[in-house]
Amino acid sequence: MTMKLIAGVAMSLTLGSGAFADGHLDKTDWPSSFTVGTASQGGTYFAYGSGWANLVAEELGISGGGEITGGPMQNMALVHTGDAQFGMTTMGPAAESLAGTNPIAPGLQMDQACAMFPMYQTPFSVTALSSSGISSIADIPAGAKIGFGPAGSTSDTYFPRIMEELGVEFERRNGGWSDLGSQLQDGLLDVIAFAAGVPVPAVSQLEVQTAVNIIEFTEAEQASILANFPVSPFAIAADTYTTLNSDARSVSMWNFAIANCSLPASFVEAVVEVVMSDNARMVNIHKAARSTLPENWDKNEVLKWHPGAAKWFSENAGATISPDMIYQ
């Protein structure tokens, strides 16, 4: 553990809520271990999720860690069934899962996955090798091989539809972000369409190895996407990647950590306390955590809150959560 992280842990124990800080939590009904459903290696979910899982395990003295999965859709299924205690999802896949349209289990309403804490916004961005000559969406040639991430991921669920809306004709490819990055570098793909928190580790790695173009949407393209998909305007800051000279126009979708609704309230409250009590520590895990802030509790308009999480945000963030949005 770095000295910076040790200092962060010490500060959290000092500033945390009374029940957590004084060590008097009743842990008798807590699970002996936990897993956090993340996504593929090379993506933001894996780095972010494994980071907070390890942090929680260390602070609460319980065995736990991140698990490689297919991403938000699969995480909803794993948490709903209890095969994973925790996971991470985006609001689009969460809504589809509640409606019973998750492709992993069509017809199953996944209502046992509860909101736990806000993570960050997932920007939708496009990357190509500079040598390809592709510097805009309009430059993408008909029949281009585009990598959309793991099957069932947020990127794979929405980005092909976005590309179709923008008039792009393509051949669809799936895989983990690290693998797709290697395929792009080897000329096996023309474009990678990322939906992941920034900086995306695979893009940062590509920048070190070769020249890339990070392609922004035009104003007209952004307007078309906003009108047809459950996303918000977003700008990828210029300092996110060395390749960028200015902010890049994009769209984004909010991500939330989720918990199986039957987990003990005191356990979930303690987990939320660890993650939300010291943002600097979370940013040290991944820069996307700059948005992992208590005031962003209101970005969830889809999932019912876990009672333990609702209690923490009500007491520590002034959240006014409607009773019908708290799992009973």
**E strands, 39-83, in order:** 63-67
CA distances from 117 to 49, 243, 292 (A): 12, 32, 8
Average pLDDT over residues 52-74: 96
Residue 162 pLDDT greater than 60, yes or no: yes
**pLDDT (tens digit, 9 = 90+) per residue, 182-238?**
999 999 999 999 988 889 889 999 999 999 999 999 999 999 999 998 888 999 999
Rounded-to-integer distance, Cα 111 and Cα 92, Å: 15
Share of the chain above pLDDT 70, in %: 93
Q: How confident is the model at residue 43 (pLDDT cuts 50, 70, 90)?
A: confident
Residues contacting residue 141 through CB under 8 Å, at least 6 positions apart: 134, 190
Of 116, 43, 136, 122, nearest to 76 by C-alpha is 116
CA distances from 53 to 46, 97, 205, 281 (A): 10, 24, 24, 13
Of 120, 118, 122, 84, nearest to 276 by C-alpha is 118
**pLDDT (tens digit, 9 = 90+) per residue, 308-322?**
999 999 999 999 999
Q: Which helix (H) or strand (E) holds 166?
A: none
Total-model pTM: 0.78
pLDDT at 10: 36
Q: β-strand 33-37 against 248-260: which pairing, if any?
A: unpaired
Rounded-to-integer distance, Cα 109 and Cα 285, Å: 33
Residue 6 pLDDT greater than 90, yes or no: no
CB 152 within 8 A of CB 70: yes
Mean pLDDT of the residues in the chain: 91
Question: Which pair of structure tokens corresponds to residue 80?
Answer: 């709903």
**pLDDT (tens digit, 9 = 90+) per residue, 95-139?**
999 999 999 999 999 999 999 999 999 899 999 999 999 999 999
Q: How confident is the model at residue 326 (pLDDT cuts 50, 70, 90)?
A: very high
Residue 144 pLDDT greater than 80, yes or no: yes
pLDDT at 154: 85
pLDDT at 23: 56
